[in-house]
């Protein structure tokens, strides 16, 4: 083979689609399916193939929260976004203890084994999905390549803030309402008006969300038992500011004495979050030695939607 033939062959190889940069690859097809793990059937949407990257949504969202990330990271990963137990099309066990953190962590362990047997994976979580991701990383660091958290508090820091920080206590008062028996009625009244306003309101005005997005959320919230399933995360784990005469319960780790995260971790934080305040980042490195923090000053709690390209870029850079 001549030098010219060798160069021509290398150029042809570099031009093949599977070696093209991820940004230049077409968006992968989204696949809709379900799997039974840990005694429940979990619905999920996936895209692509390759090493596993698992996305965990928060309250009151569902797999759809990550649709833009599935399209992006499915280009070179097996990207999977489940409906967590209690949500949308996944099973919704009636017993409150079925939503305690040790059970939620076991769901993720079983999902990891299913999609990536004997191989480490990347775990990404937001809000309650981030809380589960923190707890999972503490309990099972041996299963994770990397951890990505978006606006979700570390259990040790959050417990401390709920006990002593007046601003975070005030910002977390809604958690007590979410734990009350009246929560379902209040949140579903007038066609889920409160949830529409909280999650979608500003985004509908700015174009971040469309009417089709709103319809998808309303359909998910209207699934029988779905609203109760999501609220049971608050109730079962008793997270929130201290009620009169009681101590705060903000530590949602499986083992409250074990709080170290021994996994390379990226925390992305929209600093305009009015529910989870930026002081949740202060002192975080004492629990997370291999920590990278990316603050997004003009992002809110819903920064995944508002700044999706920036969020994707930060995750991509961290994975490299």
The count of domains in the chain is 1
Residue matched to tokens 């993720």: 108
In a domain, 16, yes or no: no
In a domain, 1, yes or no: no
In a domain, 5, yes or no: no
Q: How far apart are CA 60 and CA 37, in angstroms?
A: 22
In a domain, 6, yes or no: no
Q: Across the beta sheet with 265-270, what order do the strands follow?
A: 30-37, 40-47, 78-82, 52-56, 121-126, 144-150, 265-270, 291-296
Q: Is the pLDDT of residue 134 over 70?
A: yes
Q: Is the pLDDT of residue 9 over 70?
A: no
Q: Is the pLDDT of residue 24 over 80?
A: no
Q: How far apart are CA 265 and CA 25, in angstroms?
A: 27
Report pLDDT digits (tens) over 94-114.
999 999 999 999 999 999 999
In a domain, 10, yes or no: no
Containing domain of residue 217, as a range? 25-319
Section 275-293 average pLDDT: 97
User: What integer pLDDT is reported at residue 254 of this predicted model?
Assistant: 84
User: What integer pLDDT is reported at residue 3 of this predicted model?
Assistant: 41
CA 56 to mean position of chain CA atoms: 3
Look up the CATH number of the domain holding residue 206: 3.40.50.1820
In a domain, 20, yes or no: no
In a domain, 17, yes or no: no
Section 47-53 average pLDDT: 97
Q: Is the pLDDT of residue 4 over 60?
A: no
In a domain, 111, yes or no: yes
User: What integer pLDDT is reported at residue 20 of this predicted model?
Assistant: 52
Residue 161 token pair: 């803030």
Candidate from 8-12, 135-139, 259-263, 283-287 with smallest mean pLDDT = 8-12
Q: Is the pLDDT of residue 5 over 50?
A: no
Q: Which residues are catalytic, by number?
A: 127, 234, 301
Q: Is the pLDDT of residue 17 over 90?
A: no
């Amino acid at each position: 083979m001549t030098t010219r033939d060798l160069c021509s062959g290398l150029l042809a190889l570099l031009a093949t689609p599977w070696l093209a940069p991820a940004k230049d690859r077409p968006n992968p097809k989204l696949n809709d399916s379900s799997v039974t793990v840990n005694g429940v059937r979990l619905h999920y949407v996936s895209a692509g193939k390759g090493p596993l990257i698992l996305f965990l949504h928060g309250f009151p969202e569902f797999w759809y929260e990550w649709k833009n990330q599935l399209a992006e990271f499915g280009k070179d990963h097996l990207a999977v976004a489940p409906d967590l137990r209690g949500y949308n099309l996944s099973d919704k066990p009636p017993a409150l203890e079925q939503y305690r953190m040790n059970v939620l962590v076991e769901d993720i362990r079983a999902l990891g084994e299913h999609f990536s047997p004997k191989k480490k994976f990347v775990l990404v979580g937001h809000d309650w999905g981030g809380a589960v991701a923190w707890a999972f990383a503490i309990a099972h660091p041996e299963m994770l390549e990397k951890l990505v958290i978006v606006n979700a508090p570390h259990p040790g820091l959050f417990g401390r803030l709920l006990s002593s920080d007046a601003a975070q206590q005030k910002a977390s008062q809604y958690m007590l309402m979410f734990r009350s028996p009246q929560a379902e009625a209040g949140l579903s009244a007038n066609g889920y008006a409160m949830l529409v306003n909280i999650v979608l309101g500003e985004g509908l005005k700015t174009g971040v969300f469309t009417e089709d997005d709103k319809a998808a959320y309303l359909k998910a919230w209207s699934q029988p038992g779905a609203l109760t399933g999501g609220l049971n995360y608050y109730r079962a784990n008793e997270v929130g500011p201290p009620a009169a005469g009681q101590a705060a319960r903000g530590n949602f780790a499986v083992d409250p004495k074990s709080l170290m995260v021994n996994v390379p971790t990226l925390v992305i934080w929209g600093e305009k979050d009015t529910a989870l305040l930026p002081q949740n980042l202060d002192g975080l490195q004492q629990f997370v030695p291999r920590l990278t923090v990316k603050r997004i000053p003009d992002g809110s709690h819903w920064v995944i939607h508002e700044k999706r390209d920036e969020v994707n870029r930060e995750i991509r850079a961290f994975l490299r």
